[in-house]
Each structure stands twice: as C-alpha cells, then as structure tokens.
Chains A and B, each alone.
Chain A
Amino acid sequence: MRSQVHDQVLSIIAREAHREPADLRADMTLEELGLDSLGLVEVIFAIEEQFDISVPFNANDMAQAQFDISSVGAIVRAVERLMSGESPSAAVA
C-alpha cells in the first residue's frame, strides 16, 4: 500500500516538473521529468519544508551516498527512511 509520504513526495516532484502526480512512475529519473540541478534543489527544499526534515544532499556528491536521487522511487524511499529516523548512512545500504 502506498504511504502518505509517497503521495506527498510524488505531488512535490510533479509540481516542480509541471506534471500530474499520476503521470509519474517510480522508475522515472528527474532528468526524464525535465528537472535540472536547480529543479532538484527546489524539490529538496519543498520536501524539507513539507516534512520538517533536513535532507543530507550535496550536489557535489557524485555517488549520492547520502540521499539517493536516481529515480522518483529512490527519492520516495530516501524520504521514508529519513522520516523513520534512520541515519543517512543506513540509507546507503
């Protein structure tokens, strides 16, 4: 069953990408959705504001070791982990 976090993250990404949440699939990349590096930091800002969390993302971290942004589904999972209080390093594994 899809979580509320899932729906809210999708809604944020969809809004930034000027799409409908229903158009998004878990395997889509932000690039496919037309989001560039600045679109990404806006998504992260919106996530932080929505859930009152701090997202450990650094645009220079090429391995995305702290916060996986490789797909819509990955972002949802990363936010769910943060919400559950798991440490960023645990999210890597």
Chain B
Amino acid sequence: MRRVVITGAGSINALAEGVGATKTALAAGRSGIGALQFPDVERLNVRIGAQIHGFAPQDRFDPGKLALYDAFTQYALVSGAEAMAQAGLENAPDPARWGCIIGTAGGGHGTANDAYRAVYAQGKTRVHPLTVPKLMANAAPAHLAIRFHLQGPGFAVSTACASSNHAIGLAFQMVRSGMVDGMLAGGAEAMLNFGGLKAWEGLRVMSPDGCRPFSADRNGMVQGEGAGVFVLETLDAALARGATPLAEITGFSMNCDASDIVMPDQDSAARAIAEALKDAGMAPEEVGYINAHGTATAANDRIETAAIRHVFGEAADHVAVSSTKSMHGHCIGATGAVELVACLMALQDGVIAPTINYGAPDPDCDLDVVPNEARRAQVGAVLSNAFAFGGFNAVLALRAI
C-alpha cells in the first residue's frame, strides 16, 4: 500500500490564526477561552467559550463571494489556503485525482441562527436568498474544491466531535488505496451563537468557569470554534515534486458503540485505539504522545483513561497524554483537525502540548497528562483520539518522518 504524508497544514482557532502561531500558543500553554461575545449572550447561563476574535472576513474575501461563506466556510478556506501554500501548491496538480473531505457538526449554524432570528424574532417575511447554499454542511468542502480545483471525491462528514478524524482518516484511506492521489482534509466549525450555545446548555455538560481535562475539579466542556485543513498525498509524489513531508499518517480506525447516544463506551473506545495501532503496525511502546479526546466531562476523561490503560497495559505509564481542548476549547466537528496541529508539533518539533488548568489529580485519570506546562520529548509516533456523541469513535495514528 502507498505511504501517505501530510505536506501542508493550516488552522485558525481561538488561540491563533496559522499553524505556527497555534503551535507557539500551545507550547506556551496559553488559553483561548474567555467571555463569549455575540447577540443575546446575556441570556445564556454559560457565557464562556474559545471564540475567534478580530477575524474581519470583509478584509479577506471578495464581497461577491463572501455572501456565500458562512463562518465555518471562511475558517476552512483560510486554513486550506495556508495548507496549500505550505505544500507548495497553487491548485491540485491533477484535479480529477484530488479531492476534499471536511468534517463539521453544525455546518453553517450561524447562518441558520441568523435566518431563524430574522423570521421568528424580528418578524421578517424573508431571509437572505443564499441562505441554503451558505448553511449546507458541504459548503466548506465545496468552496475548497472550487478554490483549488479539487474535482475528485468530495463531501462533508458529520459525526459530531469525531467529524475531523473521520474526514482525515477517510482521506488517508483514499490516498493509501490509490483511489486518489491527494486530498485536502480536516474540519471546520462555527457554532458559537445564541441558538447553538442555548442548545448545548440544556444538556448540562458545559462548564460555567473553565475547561480542566483529567483534573479532579473538572466540571464540563467549553465550546470552541475554528478549522484545521491538511494536504495529504503519497510520499512518493511529495518527494517527486520536492515537497517536504511534515509527518506520515500510518493508521486509522473507526467504530461505533451502538449503545448510548451520549455516554461514551470504554470497550469501543479501547477497540478503536487498538485497531488504529494495528492498522499502523504500531506497538503501544512506540507511541510517545496521545492527543486525548479529553473533553473535561466527568464521564469522558474517566472512560478514556480506562480505555488507554486497557490497550497500552504497562506502556500507559510511559506515554504522554494531553487534552489541548483546555486551550482551544472543544471545536466539535473541527476539534480533531485543530488537535492534529498538536500532534504535528510533537512529531516535528519534539514539543508536547500541555493539559492546562490542571488542578488536582483524579485517581480515575491517572495518566501522565502533561499538566500545565509543555514538555520537550523525542516523539516518533502519536495517536489522536476522538469519541463522539452518537457513539462514533475515530482514532488516527501518525509517525514522524
């Protein structure tokens, strides 16, 4: 089978715009979480989030095109442009052999929120005529495809918090199998609006005061937003055109709990981790870093710890495991893509991002969670976990190259 590498990376999130600046923030243990700013925020009980500020889309995009770009599409386009530039590509080298998969949970959620506000709250009788093509979940991959001439396979994938890992994993499989030669893959999310947060609030899983994964005093998740987009191609093609591989994707697995719609399942999570290792031909002892799903809910962090311990055995005591959601928030459908930046930082730069806001050990989360401060380490292989509502689990395995 063909070897698949990442040759370009792009991201925008509450920490920073750009992969370089995001890495700097992650390494510094900075928090992107603060007071949310949008209309009606005062009617929420939970008013914090990892929100992108000062983005100014009117300065970034052609006004004629911007009418079609929801924020999640804008974030995907900015990230895609950064990734393509790093890969040294203006467009897909062979359009019919290149495609695009973007993970998103809410799609154009802000556009839907604005349209509902117009007709229900403001009593208007019409909404913007481009509301449908703007809010559809496949708008982001569509506009990436238009921008970079990606005429091969393209679609959006929606598995809540695992969407990005599914997108990247499927793209990896397509390139590996020879179905395509290259893919843009990642995730994009922009659900930080009154309607989106009000819905999340009702589930009673959000923290009112901060994201503290694996810490005994954790009390829930904090929403984030943003995007991450990566250029995937074969190692041979990358080397042939003189591109620099950033890391190699070596394994992927996905499965389903097929049980509770929101409660994670330890056995399926463990099975997903084990199958990703198997697909990558990787032993637990080789893994130097796991980017945890680490949502800071009571249930996830306990169950994820148990799943890692089950698969890794004694090796679980020697692997660094951090949840960068403590910094960039839970970017839902984009979270795996933003978290892949932390994986690249470990593999490329030998810097493991910390779990910040870590206060007190929880005996049920007794892993090396890299508390509060980044750490230097030689890392040859990493895993990235995603365990979503719906019970859909997706784990990526990568190696340094």
- Minimum CB–CB distance for A69 against chain B, Å: 11
On whether the beta carbons of B204 and A41 are closer than 8 Å, the reply is: yes
On whether the beta carbons of B204 and A59 are closer than 8 Å, the reply is: yes
Task: Give how many A residues have a beta carbon under 8 Å from the other chain's beta carbons.
Answer: 13
- Minimum CB–CB distance for B260 against chain A, Å: 7
On whether the beta carbons of A57 and B204 are closer than 8 Å, the reply is: yes
Q: Bin chain B's interface residue count.
A: 10 to 19
Asked if B298 CB lies within 8 Å of chain A CBs, one says yes
A61 and B263 in contact, given A41-B202, A54-B45 (Cβ under 8 angstroms): no
Residues in chain A near residue B110, CB distance under 8 A: none
On whether the beta carbons of A58 and B260 are closer than 8 Å, the reply is: no
Q: Is the interface of B mostly helix, strand, loop or mixed?
A: loop
Asked if A44 CB lies within 8 Å of chain B CBs, one says yes
Asked if A31 CB lies within 8 Å of chain B CBs, one says no
Residues in chain B near residue A38, CB distance under 8 A: 261-262
- Give which listed residue, A44, A45, A59, contacts B205 with CB less than 8 A: A59
On whether the beta carbons of A60 and B202 are closer than 8 Å, the reply is: no
Asked if B143 CB lies within 8 Å of chain A CBs, one says no
Q: How long is the Cα–Cα vector from A92 to B394 in the complex, in angstroms?
A: 40
On whether the beta carbons of A41 and B298 are closer than 8 Å, the reply is: no
Asked if B297 CB lies within 8 Å of chain A CBs, one says yes
On whether the beta carbons of A45 and B298 are closer than 8 Å, the reply is: no
- Give which listed residue, A45, A58, A61, A62, contacts B202 with CB less than 8 A: A45
Give the B-binding residues of A (Cβ under 8 A): 36-38, 41, 44-45, 54, 57-62
Give the A-binding residues of B (Cβ under 8 A): 45, 202-208, 218-220, 260-263, 296-299
What are the nearest 9 A-B pairs in CB distance? Answer: A60-B220, A60-B298, A59-B204, A60-B219, A41-B204, A60-B297, A59-B205, A62-B298, A58-B219
Please name 10 pairs of A and B residues whose Cβ atoms are closer than 8 Å in the assembled complex, sorted by A. Answer: A37-B262, A38-B262, A41-B203, A57-B204, A58-B219, A58-B220, A60-B218, A60-B220, A61-B298, A62-B298
